[in-house]
């Protein structure tokens, strides 16, 4: 793989990886707050 | 089932399909005659920048909506779009650096476009910090609505910075008067990725609003519980044995 493609790969992993991590983190936090809410009621 | 709920349920599948199509489009588009394959970074960098603009434009709309209607749903919407906008601004800066290093030879330079984007990132981080620092929901909504309106002035400055000042960054190729200046196959791949990323943006904003709603509901039930506890505490305290004297 040429160095150009290596830079492209780094960029795409950063883009798609960070979006996936952010989305999963939001879903995890929502589920946790929902659980806390149910326990409080 | 309401239409909004149906759209909400279909959105993850639609986003996944568009992301895969966008990825295929960006890998099969022709390479640039000067930058070669490095130019493929444009298909993720430009959508990230577009979503930063969109996020802050929606924060502006949500802020104006709250000031007009005083409805907390507008405030939640403004907060969600600001957070997602900050995320995409950060991603724009990172992807720009990854593109800049092999093309310009530096990770960062104090170019007008880069500097104004970094400034916008920190100002909207300030917006999020202000929200966290204000516990009262009414005061938080009012202060952040004013902040959200004023801060939006940076978006046109960032976009036009490449025209107003001498810049290393290339000028606009799509959002400009006249025909876009890129090859039509590249433009098609770019538009497909813009659509895919916008769909993911909607997914993120929806999820962030859901989280805010859950947090507000938890805060309410905690406050109600707190009132009960305070109510029970307002009775004559029993001090026998507390000091050993009484």
Please tell me if residue A6 touches chain B, with a CB cutoff of 8 Å.
no
Rounded to whole angstroms, the Cα distance separating B239 from B246 reads: 7
pLDDT tens digits for B51-65?
Answer: 999 999 999 999 999
What is the pTM (predicted TM-score) of this model? 0.88
Mean pLDDT along residues B113-128: 96
pLDDT in tens, B124-172: 999 999 999 998 889 999 999 999 999 999 999 999 888 888 777 777 7
Q: Is B16 on the interface with A (CB under 8 A)?
A: no
Å from B210 to nearest chain A CA?
7
Is A23 an 8 Å CB contact of chain B?
yes
From CA B95, how far away is CA B47, in angstroms rounded?
Answer: 11
Distance CA B122, CA B155 (A): 13
Interface test with A, best of B221, B223, B227 (most A CBs within 10 A): B221
Tell me: the pLDDT tens digits for B64-94? 999 999 999 999 999 999 999 999 999 999 9
The answer, yes or no, to whether ipTM is higher than 0.95 is no
- The total number of residues shown for chain B amounts to 246
Residues of A in contact with B40 (CB under 8 A): 8
Nearest to B67 by CA among B155, B163, B167, B138: B138
Map tokens 């800049």 to a residue: B100
User: For the segment B224-245, what is each residue's pLDDT rounded down to a tens digit?
Assistant: 876 554 555 555 666 666 665 5
**pLDDT reading at B4 higher than 90:** no
Per-residue pLDDT, A1: 55
Which one, of B186, B159, B195, lies nearest residue B49 by Cα? B159
pLDDT band for position A2 (cuts 50, 70, 90): confident
């Amino acid at each position: 793989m040429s160095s150009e493609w290596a830079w492209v790969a780094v960029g795409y992993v950063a883009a798609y990886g960070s979006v996936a991590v952010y989305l999963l983190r939001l879903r995890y936090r929502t589920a946790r707050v929902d659980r806390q809410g149910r326990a409080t009621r | 089932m309401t239409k909004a709920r149906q759209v909400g349920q279909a959105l993850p599948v639609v986003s996944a399909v568009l992301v895969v199509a966008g990825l295929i489009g960006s890998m099969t588009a022709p390479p640039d005659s000067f930058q070669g394959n490095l130019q493929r970074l444009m298909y993720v960098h430009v959508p990230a920048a577009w979503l930063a603009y969109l996020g802050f434009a929606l924060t502006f709309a949500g802020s104006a909506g709250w000031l007009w209607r005083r409805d907390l749903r507008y405030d939640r919407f403004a907060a969600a779009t600001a957070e997602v906008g900050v995320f995409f601004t950060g991603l724009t800066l990172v992807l720009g650096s990854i593109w800049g290093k092999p093309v310009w030879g530096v990770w960062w330079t104090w170019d007008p476009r880069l500097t104004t984007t970094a400034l916008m990132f920190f100002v909207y981080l300030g917006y999020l910090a202000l929200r966290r620092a204000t516990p009262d929901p009414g005061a938080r909504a009012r202060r952040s609505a004013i902040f959200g309106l004023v801060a939006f002035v940076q978006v046109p400055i960032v976009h036009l910075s490449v025209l107003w000042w001498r810049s290393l960054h290339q000028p606009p190729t799509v959002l400009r008067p006249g025909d876009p200046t890129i090859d039509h196959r590249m433009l098609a791949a770019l538009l497909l990725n813009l659509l895919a990323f916008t769909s993911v943006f909607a997914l993120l904003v929806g999820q962030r609003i859901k989280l805010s709603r859950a947090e507000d509901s938890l805060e309410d039930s905690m406050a109600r519980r707190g009132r009960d506890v305070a109510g029970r505490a307002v009775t004559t305290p029993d001090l026998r044995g507390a000091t050993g004297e009484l």
